[in-house]
Structure 1
């Protein structure tokens, strides 16, 4: 597909670089969800890997290039999942990783970043303030700043999910045919990467991005066609809670997304509970955005076959119990 920064040939080549443990994650029809959602539902389970999110597909590319160039250090800002992924990939390639995160990020994510051997620096404020601090560290120390969604490797790594979904889309072999893919929208790496591949290989599949009402910056930007920043965020979906979209990423998103929708917090919680009750999955809020979108607009999806990417399972269990109202 012309126009975006992403190249399908490079995405295919990425599969040769990414550790196979992150590839070919389960994709299956989850019939237990269908009576309540009113449509056929397939789950793409990106939690079935050592860092329990899709992010390592991108960090595997980043660190392979860094190691090949002789670089020995990198820094990133993270809401939690990218930091874990970069720590995991860096550890395997001898790269020292520093992660900057908000002090309010889920403790489970922060603990795992430390356990994977990264240096963790906490800042007061939100993810966008962590981005500023990570940039300052990179400039001070002369090391690579890994910027999720801006760095093309993070997008093209995530885009390998699109290759796996395309194999289940017309004219391939899904039954019933796949009509739409619901993608959590934060910084945009997954949405632009997967969206690009689907538009190139399965153009009949609708690409729908989903974001919380409490963190709407990228969706508002997509609707306006230019960057919209917000003053704050208010959502339990910390993994997608950015305030300042990256212009180059928005340009890509405008070319590949058919729609971008906002969902309420109550719908996100209901989606998490449904994934637990009907699919046996404990997921973080961002991973339930696709189910939340169907819950809020059943008529739109009635009788269709949708796939939702369950993008992360790194959740603080005390918070999870409060949200879903269950004693686990």
Structure 2
């Protein structure tokens, strides 16, 4: 580590004619809500709609003519893939891109578009870590160059140019909040920002279901998580990089996590209030603001919005997760007596004036006297929930609260 010198300014010059210098936008609503001066670093407006192009191009552009002739390989959940694809087209080299089978279709299509005929896509495995194994094997077999998504000094250097732009545009920045998946962005941008201002407060944030950097901090080194929630696909990795861990450990002042449901609420708020379309990973830095309120009060704050590659087909899932997190959507197994008027009684005397049935289906008849049904109810206010349960009890409906039983919830809902 001591022998490695990361030159972020040189990287910025290397990328100047290729990468977009993204806007640093003041957000009045968030500034008022958190009593600070809050700016959004809009990497969702990057050419490939994420910062990942920076690291990919910085590395590939420094390969020798011989290496470029053999081609490059990468493994990616989507954004790094688009950065590599764009770079392959610009630098006239062929690329083979491995992506998890669960990668949103929108990201696959975008990758093909940016590759412009210079790339081949291979969908394999359920997670980034699964497809990484296949990609490395392919690289060795074909003597190509592997372009890591985060654990490489040239890639880290490229991602660090986000920090260069922040300091150019807003040298008085006091706090920067950055999302973390493998750690490339936080390692690069964080290192540059600390070089320029040792007193700057740097906060890293991960999805609650994939806290790989937080666990690495706790264990003193990268550890492989046995299982992760893959919803925040741009930041869901089982193991952070060795290089990124060392750099992040040296520059980050805090590591926080955010529930996936809170991320979904943030995605919807950014869209509805600011007309900003972000992917789950891109919402992390804004979603964590409630947990940072005391640390950012009265300060000049930058939240890095890391990407905007959100598949429109996921919006219903995002809305559902948000409603569940906010306590506005509840699912039950309700045992309805098999007699006339039972459902009418439920609708007229159990549901409140602002409640709405969003799902109803009988599961099966357990006897001639009763039959269970799966019922989804959306509330106008989360505070109405205790009263709803009380009315169910008063009217003698037997219910199972599925929101409190994860196994049953996943099986039935």
Contact 2:212 2:237 in 1 (8 A): yes
Q: Which residue matches 2:186?
A: 191
Contact 1:182 1:290 in 2 (8 A): yes
1:229 aligns with 2:224: yes
TM-score, normalised to structure 2, is 0.73
Q: Distance in 2 between matches of 1:212 and 1:139?
A: 33
Q: Could you tell me how far 1:168 is from its partner in structure 2?
A: 4.6
Match of 1:112 among 110, 113, 126: 110
Q: Could you tell me how far 1:4 is from its partner in structure 2?
A: 8.4
Q: Which structure has the larger Rg?
A: 2
1:156 aligns with 2:151: no
Q: Distance in 2 between matches of 1:206 and 1:30?
A: 19
SS of 1:220's equivalent in the other structure is helix
Aligned residues: 317
Q: Which runs of 5+ in 2 are unaligned?
A: 323-413
1:209-230 superposed Cα distances (whole Å, 9 cap, x missing partner): 0001100111211233222220
SS of 2:189's equivalent in the other structure is helix
Q: Distance in 2 between matches of 1:41 and 1:320?
A: 26
Match of 1:298 among 290, 293, 297: 293
Q: Distance in 2 between matches of 1:209 and 1:161?
A: 15
Q: Distance in 2 between matches of 1:222 and 1:4?
A: 23
Q: Distance in 2 between matches of 1:112 and 1:64?
A: 21
1:162-203 superposed Cα distances (whole Å, 9 cap, x missing partner): 11112355xx4x4xxx22100000111100000000110022
1:94-136 superposed Cα distances (whole Å, 9 cap, x missing partner): 1101110100011110111122232110112210011111100
Q: Distance in 2 between matches of 1:68 and 1:47?
A: 32
Contact 1:166 1:202 in 2 (8 A): no
Q: Which residue matches 1:201?
A: 196
Match of 2:80 among 79, 82, 85: 82
1:13-39 superposed Cα distances (whole Å, 9 cap, x missing partner): 112221535242101211122233443
Q: Which runs of 5+ in 1 are unaligned?
A: none
Q: Which residue matches 1:281?
A: 276
Q: RMSD of the TM alignment (CA)?
A: 2.0
Matched ranges for 1:12-51 at <5 A = 12-51=9-48
Q: Which residue matches 2:306?
A: 311
Structure with more contact order per residue of length (Cα contacts < 8 Å, sep ≥ 6)? 1
1:238 aligns with 2:233: yes
1:67-115 superposed Cα distances (whole Å, 9 cap, x missing partner): 5455221000001000011001111111101110100011110111122
Q: Distance in 1 between matches of 2:234 and 2:214?
A: 15
Q: Distance in 1 between matches of 2:93 and 2:39?
A: 37
